[in-house]
Amino acid sequence: MKKDLFLFACTLLFAGWCSAQDLAIHKTQGVGKLSIDATGQPACSSSRYGDSIWNNLAGTGWFTSWANYVFLDWGKLSDQGNGLPDEVIDGFRFAYGTDDPGTASVSYALHFYDSYTGWCDRSVVAEGLFVFSGLPGTCGLPVASWMWVVTVDLDGSGYEFLLNEEIGIGHQCTMPQPTPYFTGPGLTLPPNCGGNGATGTDDAFEILYPNGAWQGCYWFGGYPGSPYASFRAELFGGRDPAVNLSYGGMGLQGNDAALYCTGSWTAGDTARFLLRKNGLAEAGSIVASTCIYRPPLYFPIYDITLGSKMPFLAVLPMTPDTVGDFDVYNLAVTSNMTSLTIYMQGAITDMFSGGPVAPIDLSNGIF
């Protein structure tokens, strides 16, 4: 019976996947570039985002459209060598095609997910959501359709987010209906092709209803006979830890959380901390000390290892991110702070707010 159910499920998946061959695609005649910040405002051309750490931007001139539905692509983000499981994303690119003649008529959203392997996987973790309006159409130019490559600079904006290895990127044209125009994500090429890196993408994607419910797996008939079913995007990162700070204490016994920092540990600047929660609901804090345990102190009753020495110099309560599975804290750096060597460690527990101690988790250190 179990075998029969498995075969039935596979048949449904295959049927849904094949049915997408009829999804319409369109060809653009022109290409433009646009740089904006996290709120959609024009950004200067000398952006501050880090290196390209995932490049799926190879262009083909093709795009597809289905207004207000989420086209969910997936791939793999390789480790960038910071010794921690996540990467701090401080910029990204995406591309959309449109035949809308307006100069500021396109609305578009980008959804970023973790723990997504595609093929009707439902274990996604939301990490970032960016909604833009007033993006350009064809601007009245004498062409049928236009491709825009949009660069979004997040560095220093407070909108940086975290991504792990298995990532999902959802493209959503949020146009009011009905409309006679087509707008949607630009199609790219396979991994290691046309400038793409080892992105880990497949010749397939998912479509989600506007309410987030899954509709099914799709392709365009199979590459290379048809366009490759993946969407143009690029991720930037590698600007962590913050200037004048270092990561340390990775892999301490029992510690599964991860603490990251961007910005600059310089008097008058701001350091932004991000603490990976791993699905825990307890409060996130940063514990700081001018002393470091050597060796770090392990507490077997809680299966955690404390690197900073008590009593703490400070306990800084963090704020949950509005979308992602991490807490954030922005610290204005003073000259008093820069004159000390301060060891900071992330703590996920309600004990500092008067709640129970367990469950509890700690992170690596930053100093």
Considering the domain boundaries, does residue 325 fall inside one?
yes
Mind listing the pLDDT tens digit for each residue in 254-270? 999 999 999 999 999 99
Q: How far is CA 56 from CA 70, 104, 107, 182, 355, in A?
A: 18, 26, 22, 23, 45
DSSP assignment of 277-298? -TT--SPEEEEEES-EEEEEEE
Same domain, 24 and 76: yes
Question: Any idea which of 17-31, 65-79, 281-295, 304-318 has the lowest mean pLDDT?
Answer: 17-31
Considering the domain boundaries, does residue 11 fall inside one?
no
The tokens describing 189, both together, are 């090429």
Determine if the pTM surpasses 0.75: yes
Strand partners for 130: 110
CA–centroid distance for 113 within its chain? 6
Least Cα distance to 56 among 202, 207, 220 occurs for 202
SS3 label, residue 150: strand
Considering the domain boundaries, does residue 194 fall inside one?
yes
% of the chain surpassing 90 pLDDT = 77
SS3 label, residue 337: helix
Please say if the pLDDT value at position 9 is more than 80: no
Considering 237, 259, 274, which residue would you say is the last residue of a domain? 237
Same domain, 224 and 261: no
SS3 label, residue 215: strand
| Amino acid in position 328 | V
Give the pLDDT score at 196: 98
Same domain, 97 and 174: yes
Give the pLDDT score at 354: 87
Considering the domain boundaries, does residue 191 fall inside one?
yes
Average pLDDT, integer, range 90-112: 96
Same domain, 197 and 267: no
Considering the domain boundaries, does residue 335 fall inside one?
yes
SS3 label, residue 53: strand
Same domain, 251 and 356: yes
Query: Predicted confidence band at 48 (pLDDT cuts at 50, 70, 90)?
Result: low
Considering the domain boundaries, does residue 4 fall inside one?
no
Q: How many domains does the chain have?
A: 2
CA separation for the pair 116, 74 (Å, rounded): 7
Average pLDDT, integer, range 157-164: 95
Same domain, 231 and 262: no
CATH code at position 358? 2.60.40.1930
The answer to whether the peptide bond before residue 85 is cis (omega within 30 degrees of 0) is no
- Within 8 A by CB and 6+ apart from 6, the residues are none
The answer to whether the peptide bond before residue 224 is cis (omega within 30 degrees of 0) is yes
Give the pLDDT score at 8: 26
Average pLDDT, integer, range 179-183: 91
Segment holding 313, helix H or strand E = none
- Exposed / middle / buried, residue 250 (Cβ in 10 Å: 0-12, 13-18, 19+): middle
Average pLDDT, integer, range 174-179: 86
Query: Predicted confidence band at 173 (pLDDT cuts at 50, 70, 90)?
Result: very high
Considering the domain boundaries, does residue 242 fall inside one?
no
Considering 237, 263, 278, which residue would you say is the last residue of a domain? 237
Same domain, 184 and 251: no
DSSP class of residue 336? H
Same domain, 124 and 27: yes
Give the pLDDT score at 45: 55
| Residue 145 domain boundaries | 17-237
Same domain, 68 and 99: yes
Same domain, 173 and 284: no
Please say if the pLDDT value at position 303 is more than 70: yes
How high is the mean pLDDT of the chain? 90
Least Cα distance to 358 among 285, 281, 297, 295 occurs for 281
Considering the domain boundaries, does residue 97 fall inside one?
yes
CA separation for the pair 103, 350 (Å, rounded): 50
Please say if the pLDDT value at position 200 is more than 70: yes
The tokens describing 220, both together, are 């365009």
Same domain, 277 and 213: no
CB 51 within 8 A of CB 238: yes
Instruction: Characterize 184-221 residue by residue with b for buried, 16 or more Cβ atoms within 10 angstroms of its Cβ, and e for exposed.
Output: bbbbbbbbeeeebbebbbbbbbbbbeeeeebeebbbbe
Give the pLDDT score at 14: 38
Please say if the pLDDT value at position 17 is more than 50: no
- Within 8 A by CB and 6+ apart from 211, the residues are none
Query: Predicted confidence band at 10 (pLDDT cuts at 50, 70, 90)?
Result: very low
Considering 237, 260, 293, which residue would you say is the last residue of a domain? 237
The tokens describing 247, both together, are 């990561």
SS3 label, residue 329: strand
Please identify which residue in the block is written with the tokens 């401080």. Answer: 90
Same domain, 205 and 271: no
